[in-house]
Structures are given as C-alpha cells and as structure tokens.
Amino acid sequence: MTTYITTPIYYVNAMPHIGHAYTTIIADTYSRFRCLCGDEVCFQTGTDEHGEKIVQAAEGEGISPREYVDRISDSFRQTWPGLDIAPDHFIRTTDADHIKLVQDILQKVYDQGDIYFSEYSGHYCKGCERFLTEKELVDGKCPDHQTVPEEISEQNYFFRMSKYQDWLIDHIKSNPEYITPERYRNEVLSFLSEPLEDLCISRPCSRLTWGIPLPFDKNFVTYVWFDALINYLTGIGYPNGPDFDKHWSVAEHVIAKDILKPHAIYWPTMLQSMGVAPYQRLHVHGYWNVDETKMSKSIGNVIRPGELVEEYGVDTVRYFLLREMSFGRDSSFSTEALESRRNSDLANDVGNLFSRALTMLAKYADSIVPEIDKATVTEEDRVLVDALEKMVADYTTAMNAFEFHKALQSIWEVIGMLNRFIVTNAPWELAKDPDQAGRLNTVLYFLADSLRLLALVLRPVMPTAADKMAVALGQADELAKATLEEEGCWGRMPAGTVLHQGEALFPRLEKKKKQQPQAQTQGKGQGKKGQAKKKEAEPEIDMEGLITFEQFGEVELRVAEIVTAEKIKKANKLLKLTVKAPEERTLVAGIALHYSPEDLVGKKVIIVANLKPAKLMGITSQGMVLAAKETDADGNERLVLSTVAGDIAPGSRVA
C-alpha cells in the first residue's frame, strides 16, 4: 500500500512556532506509523512564498522578497530535523517546476471556460489575502484579524467555483470520511447550504508583483491560494510523473481549522475543474493557545519549538503535543502541563517501567531474555497477552483515525498494567525461592516481550526514545525495519537476546528550587551495600520527586461549609463562594460549568486553607477548593468536588 500525507505549506512571513510544529509532527507521526504498517510513504511539507504578506515582511526587514523567502524557508527546513521530522519532500512555491505547473493549470482551466474576467468590489482583508463576504464580517471587521477590510473595486479574473457547488455537496455527503473530525465536515456543509460565490483568483500587477503571472494576461498575477494549493500536485509529479497516480489516489491533507475553507471548498472544486479526482481525506485540527490565550507576536507568547526541544528533549515535546491535544479541538500549551506529562507519563510510567524491568532482567537473568516456562503461565499472564494485543489493535484504529491522544491512552493503559504486573509478581520474592525459578523466567520473559511491543508502537511518536529502547532490548536492527503485522503480536522476543541497560530514558525534571528530601531514607545515591536486606524487598522504588511527610504537612487542608455561592459576571467558569472554615472567608472556584450555585449551599468541601490570597476577576480568593478532574477520550472535562464522607465540624483539619 501507499500513503501520501501533506502539511500546509507555511507562509514565510513568520518563523516556525509550535502551531506549525504540531501539524508537521502529526504528519511525521502518521508517516512513520504507515511505514510501520508496511506502506511506501511520501510525506510532503514546504513553504508558501508569494503574496502581499511576504512583500510586507520583506519590506519590514529592508531586503528583497527573494532574499527574504530564501532565508525564512530555510529556517523552516532547518527546524524539522530537530523535531525528528523527516519529510520526503520539501516544496517551495518559488520552485521553477511549481511555477510552470500553476501556469499550465491556469491555462487549462481558462481554456475550458472556468475562468472569466469581471469587475468586482468588496471587502478585502489583507491578513486573509482575500475578499470577505458581508456575512463573514463581525461588527464590520474581519473576525480573524480584527481589522476593518479595505473597500476595493477592481477588474479581476474569477474561477467558476459556484458551478461545482452541487457536486461538492454530494461528494462530501456520500464520503463521510472526506473531512474529519465530523464537526468540520458539518461546518463545511453548513457553509455550502448558501449559494457559493465564484472565486477571485487574480491580483493586478499594479497592486502585487510578487506572484505567478497569469499565462493569459501578463498584467495580473495569480491569487496566492490558487498557487499554493497546487503544491500538493507539483510535489508528486502531476501530470505525467511516474508515481503520480499511485500517490494522488491516496492523498491525505492535514491542516488546522484556520484554512478549512480553501482546503474543503476551493481545492476540491479546482481539482474537479481540472479533471483530477478529489483527494482522499482532509484531517482538521484545532488551535494551540498558550496559557489559555491566543498565541501572538504582539503579546509575546509565541512558543518556539527549538527552545522547547533544547529544554525538554525532542521526545517529550512530540509526546506532549500529541497526547495533550484531542485532535480537532483547541488546546492550551503551558510549561506546567508539559512538565507534568514529562514527569508522570514519561518518567514515572514508561521510564520507570523500562528501568525496573531491565534492572530485574539484569539482576535475575544476567541481562539475557530467558525462556518461558510454559507450566508456570497463569490466567493473569493470559489477560496481559490479551491486553497487549488489544492495545496494538486499538492503537492501529486510533492512529488511522488521527486520534493520536487515544492511541497513546491505549498504550498507557498497558504501561499501568505492566507496572502492576511487576508489583503483583514481585520478581525479587520469586528470586529468593529456587522452586520458583521457572515462574521467575516466565515473568521476566513477559516483561521483556512487553517492552519490545512498547518500543514498536512508540516508534512513530518518539523515534529517538524508541531507538534507545530498541538498543536496550537488543533489537535495534529488528525494530528499525519491523512491521506491525509481523512484529506487533505477542511472543516475538527471541529467548537468549542480550539486553543492555542504558541510561534512563526520561530522567525526572528537577523542580527549579527543589528542597532536599529529609528524613525518609533509601533515596537514590545511597550506597547499595549498607542496606542490602531492605533493598532486596523493594529494590526498584525511585524516591526522586517524592515528598516527605513534613513537606505534605505544610499544606493546610480543612473542611469548609459553603454558605453562599454566586456567579461572577463575565467569567463563565468561576463562582464566588463564601465558606465557613471555621471563620468565614471568600473563595473563587473554577467550577461554574459543573455546579450551579444553588446546589452548593450547605455542602462541606475540602479547601487548601493556607494558600496565599490571589485576585481573580477583581475578587480576592483566600484559598482553593479541591476537586477531582476527569477527562474523557474526547477531551471533555468533568469536575467533582472533594467532600468528606461523614458529618464533621467546618474548619476540621484534613491530614
């Protein structure tokens, strides 16, 4: 099978940020995943280099557009390897073959009568580089750029997009997978329920020269979208390239919601006019905000992927972006969220599992994968095998559906199971009893083979970490060329394989001002010898990052009775509470979407009573209400307040 996956080609008026990185990591992960499925893959990204925005950016730097686009395009190209992104093809709209193809296509569409010349006047938004319809304006402004569009009246060339409206509606309706997730498909169908206007596809040279000249009228250059979308064909050799049909028949585009209309409406109608079959699938994701705020240069909160990689490493960045965002929904980036995923999902869960399992294989089997002792296989082992095979199946379904967060969830369920498998089977206990030697070997084999499967499925998401895992498992060559079909099942780890325990995969991130843990003994760095006996019982517990009893005691938790609760104007998530704990105090709690004020009065909840006061929407909050948060597979959150199980006086200390 073949896969052809593309990202948008990015405008070179800005340097790459995590939004660009996210889309490109998605395409890279999918490309690696399809390779794992045995496909021949073509993954294309690139840069979009014509148009007014680029001219303005070059002017801002005092250099020519050509010099400017070369520089920024290069910085996109140079950014990707640092993120383990490996496109097969990097296209630029200033490439000679692309310019020629755009002109050939324009000529063909013109010759067949789908391009005509006409007068037009309308609201032109420079940010969008297009005319906006009356309906699109909000308070007379472009909703995306918050600027009042210019009233422009000029003669231009138009593409007969309206001619293909019925065909497009029919195509989208009869191909439910054409645009996913469904909300974007519905958005497009709703837009198409109104008459479609023709598309203005030229700009007079008097206004713009940095573009591809129309082949049939040298006084005009083509509109940036007509130029840009065609990149998806240029890259695979349309019309006569030897592999064109093979790639185009499986074409999949990944974009964010900002460019849905050009991809879901302009592009398929252009293809239909050209006599080229529509692409197969359009995958649309949401937007990354930063700390709940839109990312923007003027706010100064733009996150550069290179800086993140430098601080946290490439695997953490890729994992975080793929795990944190439910594909299709918006998500908020914060370093706290990234650090928390690094420490909990990567250091504690998968990192710890690898180091515990490899340490035990070293200690009890001299780092050589033992043979299973069939007589000692238990029902619990069989449950684990079923879970591992179900993980591969669920992961495959989710990856094919672009539900990366779900694919990772299914892997992490098994990681949790394996960590519990170690605890319940306690190999350190089995090792003490010579009669249990067979069972010990079985347990160790199960661990080694499970790690191999994890290294296999994690490869598309975290290629560098997966390589380290494969080396540690003595499977570097095997896993580098493995396919899911051949290797994605239980029991493929050859007994006798020599393992190598390397460095920790994901060392915990140290808190910036971390206090030295006191009292509780047995931390890392304590000599092995002096405490041989105790270590034997719990050899693999990593004390790093745990807190002492005293540290926990610093947090003052108290029972508080809610006396009043009210909504706060203009803050749809917040409620203002007055509580007794035992003295009265005011709290602001982010629970308004989950509780109505009248349900809260009289409830006894748990609060952090010694938190420094903070001002929220002008109200000073003297503490924090505790609640448990659950996030379902689609990213929907549910909050449930922490309460006490019996009646107790307000103000009672919780410890």
Positions touching ligand MSP (CB under 6 A) are 8-11, 19-20, 22-23, 48, 228-229, 231, 255-256, 258-259, 287-288, 295
* Helix 182-191 × helix 165-174 angle, to 10°: 160
Beta strand 571-580 pairing with 199-200: unpaired
* Helix 18-36 × helix 65-82 angle, to 10°: 50
| Cβ at position 284, least distance to ligand MSP in Å | 9
Cα–Cα distance between 449 and 174 in angstroms, integer?
A: 44
Please report, in range form, the residues annotated as the binding site: 125, 128, 142, 145
145 classed as catalytic: yes
Nearer to ligand MSP, 178 or 232 (CB): 232
Whether the link from the prior residue into 16 is cis, omega within 30° of 0, is no
142 classed as catalytic: yes
Q: Which one is catalytic: 297, 390, 500, 573? A: 297
92: β partners: 47
Helix (H) or strand (E) holding 363: helix 352-365
Q: Which one is catalytic: 20, 253, 283, 406? A: 20
| Cβ at position 224, least distance to ligand MSP in Å | 7
Helix (H) or strand (E) holding 9: strand 2-11
Nearer to ligand MSP, 130 or 558 (CB): 130
297 classed as catalytic: yes
| Cβ at position 72, least distance to ligand MSP in Å | 10
89 classed as catalytic: no
Please report, in range form, the residues annotated as the binding site for Zn(2+): 125, 128, 142, 145
Q: Which one is catalytic: 128, 253, 283, 576? A: 128
Beta-carbon count within 10 A of 210 CB: 22
| Cβ at position 473, least distance to ligand MSP in Å | 35
DSSP 594: T
Q: Which one is catalytic: 294, 432, 514, 567? A: 294
500 classed as catalytic: no
Nearer to ligand MSP, 76 or 445 (CB): 76
Cβ atoms of residues 414 and 392 within 8 Å: no
Whether the link from the prior residue into 8 is cis, omega within 30° of 0, is no
Q: Which one is catalytic: 37, 42, 125, 200? A: 125
Backbone angles phi, psi at 172, to 5 degrees: -65, -40
| Cβ at position 223, least distance to ligand MSP in Å | 12
Cα–Cα distance between 179 and 282 in angstroms, integer?
A: 5
| Cβ at position 78, least distance to ligand MSP in Å | 16
125 classed as catalytic: yes
Exposure string over 532-559, b if 16+ CB within 10 A, otherwise e: eeebeeeebebeeeeeeeeeeeeeebbb
Cβ-based neighbours of 609, under 8 Å, separated by 6 or more: 556, 557, 558, 560, 581, 623
Beta strand 624-625 pairing with 604-608: antiparallel
**Catalytic annotation, residues:** 17, 20, 125, 128, 142, 145, 294, 297
